[in-house]
Amino acid sequence: MENIKFEIAKASAGQLKIVENILNNTSFISTYKITPYLKGYLLSIQGINIQCTTLLAAVAQQGINAERLYEE
């Protein structure tokens, strides 16, 4: 099981709902959590074979800016 985090830039409640809909309809995601983070939101995802580029592209198509966070 992989754990990956993304930062979502400022987003409205409607945009967060769009992100939730994308996540709920993505087969490689088991669980996710969206929490306030700095000037935006932190998206924590748990799943198997998470396809980051596919996920980021789907979110970007909706006009929402998200970026993967790398942990050291």
CATH number for the domain that contains residue 38: 3.30.70.100
| Tens-digit pLDDT profile for residues 10-44 | 889 999 999 999 999 999 999 999 999 988 999 99
User: How is 28-70 classified by DSSP, letter by letter?
Assistant: TEEEEEEEEETTEEEEEEEESS--HHHHHHHHHHTT--EEEE-
Q: Which domain holds residue 62?
A: 2-69
What pTM value is reported for the model? 0.89
Query: Based on the structure, what is the number of domains in the chain?
Result: 1
pLDDT higher than threshold 90 for residue 71: no
CB 14 within 8 Å of CB 62 = no
